[in-house]
Amino acid sequence: MALDRVGFVGVGLMGHGMASNILRKGHPLTVMGHRNREPVENLKSLGAREATSLHDLAATSDIVVLCVTGSPQVEAILTGPGGLASAGRELVVVDCSTSDPSSTIRLAAVLAAEGITLVDAPLSRTPKDAEAGTLDVMAGGDDAAFERVRPVLEKFAGRIVRTGRVGSGHTMKLLNNFVSLGYAALYSEALTLGAKAGLTPEVFDSVIRDGRMDCGFYRTFFTWVLERDPNAHRFTIANALKDLTYLSGYANASGAANPLGAAVRNSFALAAGAGRSGDFVPMLSDVVAGLNGVKLGKE
């Protein structure tokens, strides 16, 4: 049986690995051009086709996967001028971006009238996991749509968690990022306080590593702190701030008090305001240390 034709928008840091796994594991693949031509040309060399427009992408795909920055980009791709909805074809769209759940729920209703079914399937882990096909996916949407896209998700995911109705995947993703980014803010302040007392990052790590507070996120964060490897966790402070802002909006809309979320968001807002938006999340530790007059790691 022929596999579904897959269209892909957003073959960047995460998207390239996802798309290459979809292609290598048998699905015909069409990709939209990307400002960084290298991943596009690589995928074309492996057999992918490059679409000339979103309308063209929709016309030659059964399932379209999105992996872009956030809701404004997703909305433009789906319902903007020349967007996927303008093609007038029945499609299943899988939004793997970290998007605002309220936008996702609204879009799902709008797109249903156009014959397009939306599944929200945001991601966890790193670009290395995307290349390895071992990402974590949180999937929201109706049962039939989820079962339709599951074979595509399985091409790049090692673990798929069914979260419930449409929008629930994006909500869970915000909660997941709140926890991880909260750890980033905690690690950064703890390292700064340690430095004030003459405790090096190496001493800090010798206590935490292999103890009860160790975890996968800690390991990638401290790969930067100890080894200065810029590729340890390639997720920018700007994107972290965007996700925490979405979380704040969700908390406000639901009427929930979210004081810790506000504090974590402010840590990243402070870093962004200091001109460090393009730095990766573990580099928050250096921003916090610098603002407090201390340094971490080797110069």
193: which DSSP letter?
H
CB neighbours of 3 closer than 8 A, spacing ≥ 6? Answer: 26, 27, 28, 151
CB neighbours of 28 closer than 8 A, spacing ≥ 6? Answer: 3, 5, 6, 49
229: which DSSP letter?
-
User: Does residue 141 contact residue 120 with C-beta atoms inside 8 Å?
Assistant: yes
Host H or E run for residue 205: helix 201-208
173 labelled catalytic: yes
Nearest-angstrom CA–CA distance, 62 and 7 = 8
User: Does residue 26 contact residue 1 with C-beta atoms inside 8 Å?
Assistant: no
Q: Using CA atoms in the order 152, 157, 163, 169, what is the torsion angle rounded to 10 degrees?
A: -80
Nearest-angstrom CA–CA distance, 292 and 96 = 37
CB atoms within 10 A of CB 6: 24
Host H or E run for residue 258: none
- Beta strands at 123-124 and 135-140: parallel, antiparallel or unpaired: antiparallel
Phi, psi for residue 211 in degrees, rounded to 5: -95, -170
Q: Where are the alpha helices (DSSP H) in 50-124?
A: 54-59, 71-79, 101-112
Among residues 44, 173, 196, 298, the one annotated as catalytic is 173
The residues that are catalytic are: 173
